[in-house]
Structure 1
Amino acid sequence: MSNLIDFKAILVIALIFLPLERLLPLHAEQSPTRRHWLNDVVYLVFNGILIKTGLLVVIGVAMLAAHRLVPDSLTAAIQSQPVWLQAIEVLLIADTGFYLAHRTFHAVPFLWRFHSIHHSIEEMDWLAAHRVHPVDQILTKSASFLPVFALGFSSSAILIFTLVYQWQSLLIHSNTRIRFGPLKWLLASPQFHHWHHANQREAYDKNFAGQLPFLDMLGGTLFMPDRMPEKYGVDDPVPHLYHQQLAYPFVANAAALAPRELASETPRER
């Protein structure tokens, strides 16, 4: 039954984003069946199993220790708040965790091997948002969700954040020219996140937040000019098939995967 529900969700998402990308395209020449789209379908269908399993293990083990560290009085105070306020707090805490983890994946060469899979996207769309190595996703999501679970936020508040995060993640990767106007400084938009994926020197290691651009403003990593990127992807030798990409971080040449700021003599290697 859970698999059936997942496939229904996939169908709903496709029925929303496929027409949206045709009606308001950023790159009108880009086809829904662009290069490597079948590989990203594999990620969409199968990657969730590995990620959910890993999250259950990592967060489950961490929570055993966290419950001993968080006072019951703090948990009670958090749970006494209205759900809407808890949801805002969850967003702030979770996206701060995401920002820090995401920035670390760019800065540490071994972790970049996993994250480079996601940055190998050369044509942005809603489907490509799913191309994320399970290790990358498990650790990054753990950094987001562990603090809010440990502090005892209500399941309703966490669910609200999860739904907003999932839909916004698809939107910011999508091949759409949707602009947020003044809200672009408050909420992550396609304009904000497309620059994070840009294979252009000026945009390297920018825009790490998942939902709140002001975190990048505070961290000195915000880059959001009015124009859109000309090129996406990485120069790392990332293979094109799902099973090869799963293995790639463990067999890749470490010298070819240094973070960009540590590899100034090589083209777009991070």
Structure 2
Amino acid sequence: MEKYFTIFKDSYYGYFNYLWNEITHFHWENYFYGLILVSLLVWGLELLFPWRKDQKVFRKDFWLDTFYMFFNFFLLNLIVLIFLSNATAEIFNDILGLVGMKLSDFQIVDLNAFPFGFGLLIFFLVTDFVQWNTHRLLHRVPFLWNFHKVHHSVTEMGFAAHLRYHWMEPVVYKSILYIPLAIIGGFNVEAVAIVHFSSLTIGHLNHANLGWDYGILKYIFNNPKMHIWHHVKDLPKEAKHGINYGISLSIWDYIFRTDYVPYDGRDIELGFDGDDEFPKNFANQIIYPIKSKPSKLDKD
């Protein structure tokens, strides 16, 4: 237990110093100012090219989503995820150590052995595919859907809605992603930063008040016209668990036939059945899954 207490202490101390350094020093892979810059750029596009013309500049829940954005991107890491990630790695290695192995023994691909661009592409594709499958689980498992409802409580789409999610979601995502990333080890800081900012930008655009689908590239990249259907309140009968699960890429939905864009979805109603009774503030949304019991009849 002393070892895990040390991990706990070092994780928090290290991340606090990292976060403070991000705020006080500007550099190209700075996550703090990168989030601000990407958000301002996409918000600017919303203002210049609004798809839903009658939607206000400060749409419904704009400030709530802005709070979620910074909380989930920075404070959540400080409170939960850094220690969890470090402790998970140590637990895996402790368990494997009982049989004389360690997690690195399962590494089958070293991305450093490939040219940077090719290794980066593998890292991006593996990460996005695992997250696509995890997203499907969030919609299909009632217990997980109860947490995912926070994200689907958005009823007016805007860039900041991208990061409105319950803190339990990244715990699920990172836990499932941990082993695949360990298998393809070797990615460096630059690769992580590129994938991170690419995913952030695509995610912001997907939720923005923009009527873009990127033409022929819509079959590769997720886009605002496709993703808005993921948030539709009345799902098609043949897809009661959801549609368009893509995170950064839409190609997985087209391959596995979970794509659905029947017409221009600019004015479709967003949310889920019973969202009018869903909590409207941060604190109550966070405790909602704890207080309520998921129903087998729940659907997206």
TM-score (norm 1): 0.86
Q: 1:234 and 2:272 equivalent?
A: yes
Q: Tell me which amino acid in the other structure corresponds to 1:99.
A: W
CA distance in 2 between partners of 1:244 and 1:51 (Å) = 20
- CA gap of 1:216–1:52, structure 2 versus 1, over 3 A, is farther
Residues paired across the two proteins, number: 259
1:133 counterpart SS class: coil
CA distance in 1 between partners of 2:286 and 2:87 (Å) = 24
By how many angstroms is 1:122 displaced? 0.4
1:131-142 equivalent positions in 2, closer than 5 A: 131-142=164-175
- Cα displacement string for residues 153-212 of structure 1 (whole angstroms, at most 9, x for unaligned residues): 322322221111111111111111122101100111111211111112226511112122
- CA gap of 1:141–1:23, structure 2 versus 1, over 3 A, is farther
Match of 1:61 in 2: 87
Determine which structure has more spread, i.e. the larger CA radius of gyration.
2
Q: Provide structure 1 residue ranges, at least 5 long, that are not aligned to the other structure.
A: 261-269
Match of 1:216 in 2: 253
- Cα displacement string for residues 43-68 of structure 1 (whole angstroms, at most 9, x for unaligned residues): 12323311454332333233342782
By how many angstroms is 1:34 displaced? 1.6
Query: Which moved further from structure 2: 143-152 or 12-21?
Result: 143-152
Q: Tell me which amino acid in the other structure corresponds to 2:153.
A: S
CA contact (8 A) 1:117 1:131 kept: yes
Match of 2:10 in 1: none
CA distance in 2 between partners of 1:241 and 1:150 (Å) = 40
Q: Tell me which amino acid in the other structure corresponds to 2:270.
A: Y
1:1-270 equivalent positions in 2, closer than 5 A: 1=20, 2-3=22-23, 8-48=33-73, 49-51=75-77, 53-64=79-90, 65=92, 68-71=102-105, 74-75=108-109, 77-144=110-177, 146-155=179-188, 156-202=190-236, 204=240, 205-229=242-266, 230-236=268-274, 237-255=277-295, 258-260=297-299, 270=300
Q: Tell me which amino acid in the other structure corresponds to 1:193.
A: H
CA distance in 1 between partners of 2:107 and 2:175 (Å) = 24
CA contact (8 A) 2:106 2:183 kept: no
CA distance in 2 between partners of 1:232 and 1:131 (Å) = 15
Q: Tell me which amino acid in the other structure corresponds to 2:279.
A: P
Q: Tell me which amino acid in the other structure corresponds to 1:207.
A: N
Aligned residues with identical type, % of pairs: 25
